[in-house]
Homo-oligomer: A and B are copies of this chain.
Amino acid sequence: MNIYEYPSRGQYKALLARPTLSFAEIEMRVRPIIDEVAQKGDEALRKFALDFDNILLNDFKVTDAELRDAENQISVELKNAIDQAYENISVFHKAQQVEEAQVETMPGVFCWRKSVGIQKVGIYIPGGSAPLFSTVLMLAIPAQIAGCQQIVLCSPSNHPAIYYAAQKCGITEAYRIGGAQAVAAMAVGTETVPAVYKIFGPGNQYVTAAKQIVSQMGVAIDMPAGPSEVAVLADHRANAAFIASDLLSQAEHGADSQVLLVGTDKDIILKTIEEVKLQLAFLPRKELAAKALENSKAILVKDLDEATYLLNEYAAEHLILSIENPEEVAANIVNAGSIFLGDYTPESCGDYASGTNHTLPTNGYARAYSGVSLDSFVKKITYQKISKAGLEKLGPIVEIMAEAEQLDAHKNAVTIRLKNIKDQA
């Protein structure tokens, strides 16, 4: 980690800059994949599975038996842990259901909104060594609560923990396909894979590029993606070992992980860097983590106000406040994905089981984007109903405004009705 002592505000922009993400080149390779899936359907999926992953795809729809039997193929303790995480995530996301009241904006003018689950959603879960069953929970639980009718899972992994989570969350169908072609399949539909209206989930740069491309084709996506990141704010009394473990949690995700330590006490920063070295030695993923740490920064600032300013400039995906009164700083943070308050709230609790969602805006997107929540799986339709008396009040206002915008047919839609009401009287 590189230490920066009391940088000026003018230096923050350069100091906090993330690596530039360019998908231009990858997009050029992914676009033909999407086109081919659109044209040839399952045949293209089989071809790409063979070409890219050396897999002979026959039936790639996961059977009901596979989903059902998954429960018996994981340990009881993992099953129980998933069950408890399911409970906590459900409780937190159910609390996001709100019924909005009908509003009578003027006498006789009634307006309201209703949340309606997106009918068809797709969830992508990458393969690789570690099966990300936690992401199945994070995406399928809110989909289930939202009342999405069709929840489709695509994953190259057939790990039973993924299937156990899938069946628990009401996933209606699962397909053993991966990569950009899986995203394409959910976007355009094939003989086997249904087309969905919104696609969620993490993935490598090909998956990310595929999501970006299909989002320009009319399919919604959860949010733009970038490397995962954490910022930790530590004061003089923070526990260096705790902080080091949090920085390493982020670093182990990959060499491109963004790790930022902001401190008001030089001593704690130095101790934390020592602790990072100690703990790193014991990690199986130490090489990846070490790489991420090479580019990471520790910034010493003069006080918590300055730290708040800096952290709002950075807009971290995860922000851990290892300080004495975390609520005070949290109240002034306006740009962050998820905030962890106090010494005993490690990010990994939010990643797995506290109840909050772990799909969060990276790359500074927290300035404008929220993390995934129940909101991500619903549309809010607006409604209005106007009584004759209401139109008599509201109509003349609309007539004046429509005329001023030179939209005469808009005006006429009111005039013709007002005349009808008058004729009836």
Contact = CB atoms under 8 A, between A and B. Distances in A.
Interface of A: 23, 74, 77-78, 80-82, 84-85, 87-88, 91-92, 95-96, 98, 100-101, 103, 105-106, 109, 111, 113, 116-120, 129-134, 161, 197-198, 212, 216, 218-220, 224, 239, 241-242, 245-246, 248-249, 251-253, 279, 282-285, 289, 326, 330, 333-357, 360-361, 363-371, 373, 375, 378-388, 390-391, 394-398, 400-402, 404-414, 416-417, 420-421
A96 B113 contact: yes
Nearest to A149: B334
B77 A92 contact: no
A411 B346 CA distance: 10
B212 A397 contact: no
Contact of A366 (B379, B388, B411, B414): B379
Given A119-B334, A198-B368, A371-B382, A347 B413 contact: yes
A349 B386 contact: yes
A27 to B, nearest CB: 10
24 contacts: A74-B404, A81-B404, A98-B98, A109-B349, A111-B355, A197-B367, A218-B363, A218-B364, A239-B420, A241-B416, A249-B407, A249-B410, A279-B412, A283-B408, A337-B381, A337-B382, A338-B381, A339-B383, A345-B391, A349-B386, A352-B398, A356-B382, A367-B379, A370-B378
A278 to B, nearest CB: 11
A92 B81 contact: no
How many copies of this chain does one complex carry?
2
Contacts of A380: 370-371, 373, 375
A390 B349 CA distance: 11
B84 A397 contact: yes
Given A356-B382, A371-B382, A409 B78 contact: no
A132 B413 contact: no
Contact of A224 (B218, B282, B343): B218
Given A101-B95, A375-B375, A242 B413 contact: yes
